[in-house]
Structure 1
Amino acid sequence: MPANQYHDKIVLIGVTAPHETAFHSTPLGDMPSVFVLAHTLTSLLNQDFFRVPNWALGLQTSAFILVVAYLGFLLPTLKRRHAVIVSAGLLIALALLYFSLLNQGWLVHLMPILLLVPCGHLGLEIKRGLVAYQDAFRLHPDAVESNRLLGLAFQGQGHLDLAFEKFHLCPPDEAILGLFYNLALDYERKRQFRRAGAVYRYIISHNDQFRDVQQRQERLYRLRKPRLPRNHFSDWLVDLHEKPVLGRYQIEKPLGKGAMGVVYLGRDSKLNRLVAIKTLPLSEDFEAEQLQEATIRFFREAAAAGRLRHPHIVSIYDAGEEQDLAYISMEFFKGGHLVPYTQPNNLLPISTVIDIIIHVAEALDYAHSQGIVHRDIKPANIMYNPATNQIKITDFGIARITDSNRTKTGAIYGTPSYMSPENLAGKALDGRTDLFSLGVMLYQLLTGKLPFEGESLATLMFKIANEPHLDMLSIRTDVPPCLKKRVDTALEKVPENRYQSGAEFASALRDCGQA
């Protein structure tokens, strides 16, 4: 070839024989290395290539966020026809952007993001198809009726969350919304205000004019509190004029208030009987780190007391806990406690007092034989019906439930005026401590005064531990000498010098009464 043909040209020299060099696969077919190098060099000289701009990553990120936002938030809200139009428009827009950039020599990797649009749309359509199939099966009349009946059964058993799940599977027509309304009322009665509010919001989302849901929702916002006060049920009865529920018990009215909680009259919804319910706000008496231990001790003491079966001991039926309130369900005894009969102008006849103490002593003897010490025998814990002369001891185990917390804070559990010397000294206690307290109560029922009195707690504790009690004959002269002797024995400082059992105490009183 003439040399002038190579003037001002780049000459590449290489081997092209098939058996002498490697061939490379290209869109134009297999080529030897020198041809590939020639084509590459030609593209560079003619600027026939793509460039990745500095802003490519930012554009890719923005496009990805846009597609994800569309698929995750906008697409599920669109109807099927509108969704197809918008998805197709987004797909075309991204494709035009991609190819226009290529046409200008810019290489931005938008193809994976572009393919995400049809894939996401197809996935959503598949999901909608599955949901539609499930709804068709779920909304079948037989399935709706089954879910409705299951929900009612769960609601009747007190499993309100399970009932909500079953009702939620039913179409929200007027009848089903009525079931939701009743379910919200049950949540309110159980003081589960947040769940009740959630049910009301569900009703409002389908029918904001349904009954009085708007007013009830507003009242819930006003009444909802982070913690329950001790008199919560009383406030609830006044505010909503409705009867709350603890466990399976419907609260009828308050019966009284003690140092550790409020006692209510309740009705057992399963057995349709009246019960007395003592509430204990453990979360208010204990710190967070002590609450679990106190709750365990509460159920343990309640279970031990629940095993007692005696005609003169109030039977414990059940114990439970709801939110921050523990409760004990017990036998409802028609009558009052003995406190009114400790007043000097309202004393009972001596024979009646002896009968009461005998019954209490025999009941204590039974409890002590079961390994249970009351620890807080006093007139307020002895129920008495003057019409029938029946008595019952209540609050077995209650004094010990808060023992740990009260001891740690330097206070004394029980009632100091009725405590035994060994109780004040912090010694191990047995049934004889209850007999000392019973002796104090016998003294008070006979004279209208306590055997030990002091201007301060320290003075009172010192007298109980060290000084003899005031001679009861100096207060009431008609007390029989034998009865005075029985009281003196019961109030001995040293446990070994007292009556050693409730049966022995009862027998001594019975002998005195017959004399």
Structure 2
Amino acid sequence: LNSVPDVDGAIRTEALAVTYYDEYYPSLAVMMVARSLNLTAKDIKIRPGEALQIGNFRVSADPTMQMFTYFYKDRDGRSAIQEDSFYDVASGKIPLEKYRDKIVLIGPTAAGVGSIFVTPVSPAMPAVELQAHTVSSLLQGHFFVAPTWGWVVERAVYLLVAVYLIAMLPRLSAGLGAVVSAGIVAVLVATHFVLMTGQGIWLQFMLPLALLVIGHVLLVTKRFVVTERGKEVSDAQSAANARMLGLAFQGQGQLDMAFDYFRKVPLDDTLMDNLYNLALDFERKRQFNKAEAAFSYMADYNPKFRDLQARLSRARQMSETLILGGAQTHPGGTLALGGGAEKPMLGRYRVEKELGKGAMGVVYLGKDPKIGRVVAIKTMALSEQFEADELAEVKERFFREAETAGRLSHPNIVTIFDAGEEHDLCYIAMELLKGQDLAPFTKVGSTLSTDKVVSIVARVADALGYAHRQNVVHRDVKPANVMYEPDSDTVKVTDFGIARITDSSKTKTGMVLGTPSYMSPEQLQGQKIDGRSDLFSLAVSLYQLICGKLPFEGDSMAQLMYRIANEHAPDILLYHPSLPPALVAFLDKAMSKDAGERYQTGEEFASTLRGTVGGPSAAAIGAGVDISL
């Protein structure tokens, strides 16, 4: 009697009172609310078409005395209205104390028993649960009302939206119009929800909202169609101007500018001819990487244009091909060669591409075609970088480096395969290393675990100990000269580029070679050094790899040198409080100012270091054997 379904069959409203022979009678839900408030029917006042008063509690209603019920959604799969089995209550399984001071509704909920209703939250809600939602809505004030004046506001909003679309939007730019329309949409949506959630008033703003969105889209589409025709004419004129400017720049030899303007022109067969000629000009200037870019741009439009694929392949090959040395070499030592598909050779190695710049010059990726060995080729265009009176000494130094490094054969030292001179280039072919150096792991927050650092540094110490037994001092031990490959846990010491043979006349005293922050005091003072200097540098590297801080820093070279020579390193526990005491003591000894107080050999350094974290002792480590924690 109280529930009248909407056109879609769902129940959304509840009659607060019904009329019978011109008399108003409160609904069951209203009576239950009144009883729960210790009120009677006499305390219920009905104001037809306006509201219903239950004592001091006022419930707004529409002209037909209907209220929009708030239906509570299920939470975590459980009904918002608690349901208990009547049998469990009657049998005493559920104590009656549970229902003290609560409203209890009794009714059937099983399927096929009693009436069921379609609601916004359930397709089959029992009548007793429907009443529970209504009672809860009344008691908590969770209900909505369509006021009698609502239609006036709705039509006024509809009219204002129409005026905006007709009179204002056509005068606004596309961007500003979108912002204003979006603002109106936001205001309508916000007003709708504020009135519903704050005041329980339902105003239907969906129609003006739909009008605004559809009208805006239609007007913008119309504007686009009209203006696009004018834009096509303007674009055609701009394209013609860009083509002429491109041809002018090409004629002046400014090929980069010409390419920039050609790319502003829509691609067609005529422009393809222009781009093809431009790419050929790039080739003539031996700028094969730019020729490749031009050919690639053309291939996106028509990959079958003339001999485009062959030209593109050749340009790509030439941009990766390096011709080194001779009069063709610029100061950097590299130049791409046109006119041939073969890649240059250094000795028996075919040069594939440049890898980067090393301490002695350019480093290339090379390959021995006979055995398929891939190597790193370290080169230096000596004739381009040194005067004639210095060239002989520099070449001697270069091959001394190769001789020094070539004498070392250890699993933790990079292997040297070959050395030679060709096209005024001295080169060393060495093992191609995987992984990366340790420099990225020297920053706070990027350090490796202490066990891993100890494992790596101990292996570096083994390698240095071996080199020292061969009378070779590295002189530039630092994280950047240690390569680490995590997958295979491989450690390699690299760049013996400033190493010297300590027992020959080739060594010069008084020369400061290396990286200052890692130098030993005696190295900074220009004294003749031995392997203990390398171990000091390794201890500094260990300190930095553990805590991400250098032990010695200064605002100037003089200040840095003073601190290395005279001051103790900051307590590493300030940066890494959990370090084992044995490791802290190890660092203190390893960075002693007096070389005689440090560890005297790499083997002693490695063995003691491993012992600080429970690693294998020296007795368990064979000479030259790689040990991993």
* Deviation digits for residues 194-230 of structure 1 (CA, Å, limit 9, x no counterpart): xxxxxxxxxxxxxxxxxx9xx99xx9xx999858446
Cα 1:224–1:248 change in 2 (3 A) is closer
| Separation of aligned partners in 2, 1:275 and 1:450 | 34
Q: Does residue 369 of structure 2 align to residue 272 of structure 1?
A: no
Aligned residue number for residue 368 of structure 1: 468
Q: How far apart are 1:387 and its partner, in Å?
A: 0.9
Q: How far apart are 1:336 and its partner, in Å?
A: 1.2
Match of 1:232 among 333, 354, 358: 333
Residue ranges of structure 2 left out of the alignment (5+ in a row): 1-285, 287-310, 616-629
Equivalent runs, 1:89-488 vs 2, <5 Å = 226=327, 228-229=329-330, 231-233=332-334, 235-236=335-336, 243-283=343-383, 286-400=386-500, 412-488=512-588
What secondary structure is seen at the aligned counterpart in 2 of 1:354?
helix
The one-letter code sitting in structure 2 at the alignment partner of 1:268 is: D
* Deviation digits for residues 6-44 of structure 1 (CA, Å, limit 9, x no counterpart): xxxxxxxxxxxxxxxxxxxxxxxxxxxxxxxxxxxxxxx
What secondary structure is seen at the aligned counterpart in 2 of 1:359?
helix
Cα 1:459–1:244 change in 2 (3 A) is farther
Question: TM-score normalized by structure 2?
Answer: 0.43
Does the Cα contact within 8 Å between 1:252 and 1:265 map onto a contact in 2?
yes
Does the Cα contact within 8 Å between 1:418 and 1:441 map onto a contact in 2?
yes
Q: How far apart are 1:238 and its partner, in Å?
A: 9.9
Does the Cα contact within 8 Å between 1:264 and 1:278 map onto a contact in 2?
yes
What secondary structure is seen at the aligned counterpart in 1 of 2:445?
helix
* Deviation digits for residues 133-177 of structure 1 (CA, Å, limit 9, x no counterpart): xxxxxxxxxxxxxxxxxxxxxxxxxxxxxxxxxxxxxxxxxxxxx
The one-letter code sitting in structure 2 at the alignment partner of 1:508 is: T
Residue ranges of structure 1 left out of the alignment (5+ in a row): 1-187, 189-211
Does the Cα contact within 8 Å between 1:399 and 1:413 map onto a contact in 2?
no
Cα 1:378–1:225 change in 2 (3 A) is same
* Percent identity between the two aligned chains: 54
Does the Cα contact within 8 Å between 1:465 and 1:493 map onto a contact in 2?
yes
| Separation of aligned partners in 2, 1:366 and 1:452 | 28
Q: How far apart are 1:258 and its partner, in Å?
A: 3.2
Cα 1:301–1:476 change in 2 (3 A) is same
What secondary structure is seen at the aligned counterpart in 2 of 1:445?
helix
The one-letter code sitting in structure 2 at the alignment partner of 1:362 is: D
Aligned residue number for residue 64 of structure 1: none
Relative CO higher for 1 or 2, CA cutoff 8 Å, sep ≥ 6? 1
| Separation of aligned partners in 1, 2:451 and 2:331 | 40
Cα 1:295–1:450 change in 2 (3 A) is same
Q: Which moved more, 1:302-311 or 1:318-327?
A: 318-327
| Separation of aligned partners in 2, 1:418 and 1:384 | 19
| Separation of aligned partners in 1, 2:588 and 2:385 | 37
| Separation of aligned partners in 1, 2:349 and 2:390 | 28
The one-letter code sitting in structure 2 at the alignment partner of 1:456 is: S
Q: How far apart are 1:397 and its partner, in Å?
A: 4.3
The one-letter code sitting in structure 1 at the alignment partner of 2:568 is: P
Counting matched residue pairs gives 294
Q: CA RMSD in A?
A: 3.4
Does the Cα contact within 8 Å between 2:473 and 2:500 map onto a contact in 1?
no
Q: Does residue 608 of structure 2 align to residue 500 of structure 1?
A: no
| Separation of aligned partners in 1, 2:566 and 2:396 | 37
What secondary structure is seen at the aligned counterpart in 1 of 2:613?
helix
Does the Cα contact within 8 Å between 2:438 and 2:482 map onto a contact in 1?
yes
Q: How far apart are 1:365 and its partner, in Å?
A: 0.7
Does the Cα contact within 8 Å between 2:324 and 2:423 map onto a contact in 1?
no
The one-letter code sitting in structure 1 at the alignment partner of 2:406 is: G
Q: How far apart are 1:393 and its partner, in Å?
A: 0.7
Equivalent runs, 1:78-89 vs 2, <5 Å = none
Does the Cα contact within 8 Å between 1:312 and 1:363 map onto a contact in 2?
yes
Does the Cα contact within 8 Å between 1:227 and 1:324 map onto a contact in 2?
no
Structure with higher helix content:
1
| Separation of aligned partners in 1, 2:338 and 2:439 | 29
Q: How far apart are 1:507 and its partner, in Å?
A: 0.8
The one-letter code sitting in structure 1 at the alignment partner of 2:552 is: F
Cα 1:343–1:290 change in 2 (3 A) is same
The one-letter code sitting in structure 2 at the alignment partner of 1:297 is: R
* Deviation digits for residues 403-447 of structure 1 (CA, Å, limit 9, x no counterpart): x99x99x98421111111111111111111110110111011011
What secondary structure is seen at the aligned counterpart in 2 of 1:305?
helix
| Separation of aligned partners in 1, 2:352 and 2:446 | 31
Question: TM-score normalized by structure 1?
Answer: 0.52
| Separation of aligned partners in 1, 2:605 and 2:577 | 23
| Separation of aligned partners in 1, 2:577 and 2:555 | 26
The one-letter code sitting in structure 2 at the alignment partner of 1:330 is: M
The one-letter code sitting in structure 2 at the alignment partner of 1:261 is: G
Aligned residue number for residue 45 of structure 1: none
| Separation of aligned partners in 1, 2:526 and 2:385 | 21
The one-letter code sitting in structure 2 at the alignment partner of 1:232 is: G
What secondary structure is seen at the aligned counterpart in 1 of 2:448?
coil
What secondary structure is seen at the aligned counterpart in 1 of 2:360?
coil
Cα 1:366–1:237 change in 2 (3 A) is farther
| Separation of aligned partners in 1, 2:347 and 2:467 | 28
